[in-house]
Amino acid sequence: MLRLGRREFAPHERVIMAIVNRTPDSFYDRGATFHDEPALARVERAVAEGAAIIDIGGVKAGPGEEVTAEEEARRTVGFVAEVRRRFPDVVISVDTWRHEVAEAVCEAGADVLNDAWGGVDPRLAEVAARYGAGLVCTHAGGARPRTRPHRVTYDDVMADILDVTVGLAERAVALGVPRESVMIDPGHDFGKNTRHSLEATRRLGEMVDTGWPVLVSLSNKDFVGETLDRPVKERVVGTLATTAVSAWLGAQVYRVHEVAETRQVLDMVSAIAGEREPAVARRGLA
């Protein structure tokens, strides 16, 4: 059982985490939700379309203008508080690697800390433990925050992913983070080239076999773009194909931009797997 905030999710329940970027320069939406009202409208729409988790980020993942911890907090803390006020039952996640920001957003009502940079700040897990918050433990290949991989190599990329993510998860539990609130993430694109990310997807079942809930962040990423030779705005089909494969292999949480489309893909996979009934059943009955 995965327990996040007020919500519990059964092992075969496929969960959507909707991305809400509080940045003026995000790679995909180019600042569309930087200001409060469009960001709150995005949250409302995502929840209506089937997202159980809202993931709020104050710093884009890639290189760019420096964002201090103070500025990151300014972009996220008040917004977390407002989302909590308006949507008391939604699970609120914050994408940060800084313990100072983690502390502030947990005070404001965040339920999950999404550490996309692989424990670069070891105190972040301590914050999660202190607040009883969930934690995403990600493989970033040792990359520093906001850097791109350069000629990165692995003897066995999945072995490295397992070693890092399971190690981070076990450390978090030892610190006091609730075991049922810890997820592991292979970190597509983070510290990896396209072939690494494809292999991580192909071998995702090895992560699922660890028993930790697996989160995947696939949405419109570079490995999809390079595989299909498509720019950012033309990667939805490739993303959804990768989502279907990941769902079949057992991933549980999906961090996405396109909520409605992802919900259909996940529901279809669940039905094929015999874990969900069709929404209607008329064919052949008349």
Q: Which residues are catalytic?
A: 221, 255
Cα–Cα distance for residue pair 282/286, rounded to 1 Å: 7
Cα–Cα distance for residue pair 212/189, rounded to 1 Å: 21
Cα–Cα distance for residue pair 48/60, rounded to 1 Å: 25
Q: What is the chain's alpha carbon radius of gyration, rounded to the nearest angstrom?
A: 18
Please, are residues 138 and 92 in contact by the beta-carbon 8 Å criterion? no
List Cα–Cα distances, 181 to 68, 90, 115, 172, 209, in angstroms: 28, 15, 13, 10, 17
Residues 6+ apart with CB under 8 A from 121: 97, 98, 99, 115
Structure tokens that stand for 56 in this block: 């709020």
